[in-house]
Chain A
Amino acid sequence: MSRNLVLGAVLSAVFVLAALISFAWVPYDVTQMDITNKIKPPSPAHPLGTDHFGRDILSMIMVGARTSIAVALVAVGIGMGLGVPLGLAAAAKKGGWLDELIMRANDLVFAFPSLLIAIMITAVFGASAINAIIAIGIFNIPVFARLTRSGALSLWTRDFVLAARVAGKGATRISVEHILPNVTNLLIVQGTIQFSLGILAEAGLSYVGLGAQPPTPSWGRMLADSQTMVSFAPHMALFPGLAILLTVLGLNLMGDGLRDRFDPKLQRARQ
């Protein structure tokens, strides 16, 4: 196994674990304010210090991980759930009107700046984690649709697909039984990358106040709140910033590692 893969998996696992643990236990209640203890630097009682309301930053990051991961995960789910079938359908009807329709619709979504549309969606339907998920999810659809289509197109010319056709299988069955299993690797790699982008997008939306609303902790809003205090309380910005950085780095390394592992060409080169 490559070093990237291990390092990435460990980093990602740390934050997933932190999120999972937070359901059962956090050092301090994140909705509990303690104004007299505000903006304290790291100490044994608060390993990462406290924020401007006296809340424990470690607990906030743990619960914030939950928000980030949930938003990114569901967004990737939306992208895969809709993008993959669309991609498979487009590939099956290559050159037909359905292919054209799906792919041009994808181009349309791709042509919009994603964050701008996310801001528009949250401005129209209100700022919340759910709307952030939808906004980010919509932009995952074309990514997965294109990837699936290109992967599937090369598979459609292969002998085993031809064999299936000769055996009388329809396009839908071939797509599901023969094409899909063979593009899964691609999807997993892309899913990991999109997952990290989802975390970034959620942090970005929360930073401008359009993601999860208070009191739900979110890494992006923690950064926004700390902005005017960076000069005298750097820990308030440093730790949520590090959390975003390490999670995204971890997921990207993992995606890279997975690609190396799955890619037959690279595997052959290694042997």
Chain B
Amino acid sequence: MKVVWYATAALGLAVGIGDVGTAFAQKPGGTLRIYHRDTPASASIHEEATVSTQLPFMAVFNNLVVYDQQAKQNNMSTIVPDLATSWAWDDSKTKLTFKLNQGVKWHDGKPFTSEDVKCTFEMLQGKGKQRLRKNPRAIWFRNLKEVTTNGPLEATFVLEKPQAAFLALLASGYTPIYACHVNPADMRTKPVGTGPFKFVEFKGNEVIRLAKNPDYFKKGKPYVDAIEMRIIDNRSTRILAFQAGEFDMTFSQDITIPLLKDMVKQAPKAICETKPQYVSRNLIVNREAAPFDNAEVRKAMALAIDRKAFIDILTEGKGDIGGAMLPLPEGAFGMPPEELQKMTGYGGDVAANRAQGRKIMEGLGYSASKPLKVKISTRNIAIYRDPAVILIDQLKQIHMEGELEVVDTPLWHAKVARKDYQVGMNLTGVAVDDPDANLVENYSCKSERNYTNYCNPEVEKLIDQQSTITDPAERKKVVWKIEQVLNDDLARPIIYHDRAATCWWPHVKGFVGHENSIYNNWRLEDVWLDK
């Protein structure tokens, strides 16, 4: 880990030097205008699990450490200091100590201290005096025993057992430090942070406004005077508004592949970057009830899936085939093709796979004239329904007759939780491209976001094992082993990973889209307007 630590520190220094070198080019002033796609449920990042909250409010806060806003890929070596000036592990690798920046103030003028760090994590663990209304990522900190302080400028995270990737979770935009003296209800409506921009107003269905924090502890930043995010629900209207120059930037990955063609035609000067969303289309399979309590039926279903067909139909060939972790080349833990091919349903010829699937089903007594009737449940939203319809068509190939059951969104998770489904078409978004976030959230036994309650002691053990490994190559090997087991268990078979584009006009400078997460690059302190 020391190697990683030194590498990160050196990179942080290099980024700092780089900043000094290019500081003269940046023009201060102006308002950065980004459109927002919908009204976020609240402004409290810790209580939400959507980029709708993350994008507008990440700039209000700081983390202890953060993924380098100027580096394209999020990985352990692109973690840089934020509120912390440095960090160090003890010899047992269970104590992580952060030295904190001096003179940092909350937007209301109160001083930031190590007590704020302590109470933020106590709140996330459900131990603090303040209680969050929702706490969707509590599982991230399952290994955290306590946070201790040593004076106002030093905080130590004490872990139950070594967890090399703990730092990755702290670097996510989802892990800002909250102010002890502001209650969670106020954080939902008028958040107070230490970040480059102060909260000004949040009018549902209308606008979110932030203003430059003149007392920001990173001297000279941010560059723009204000950020204005007008909320436009209708996608056609907001794209037209961007093309008309009403906005400097689109919402994160708002431009789907089919829409991108029109964008390029109507706004040829706009810069559009197509990147993975780290949102996978996947299947949830009820393994506790017939017929999918039978491993053979599950295997047959895995063999019926033609992932390329999904990608060709739904994303004009731009999606990616992969496992639970984001595929290569952008994903930090993506499986190389030779590993991917080893997994059931991924390798070989689709027709041959399906023939094998049919044989299994015929062995179980099913045929074209006597198919297995299966209900495919999904949310009543196009991005869920469309792949479900394709799945139904593909299942016919192995004597399964699917029936689509659309479920009203508010009832979806409750239905899944009470296991009232056979197969569900699901979407899973991941904030941090690290197994300690993705695999722990979605496949570990105690996670609230593990909707299927999948619980395999072997996977649990492997998840814990990879978490302690510091060598990236060794860690990847264990992660790929987990992928193999998850696929064999049909825990949540991944169909494909989607891609979409974010666009901005050439006068927007200093913005770098992260390629393996849409949640961690919205600090916006480096963005400036060349006009």
State whether these chains interact: no
Residues of B near any A CB (own CB < 8 A): none
- Chain A residues with a Cβ under 8 A of chain B: none
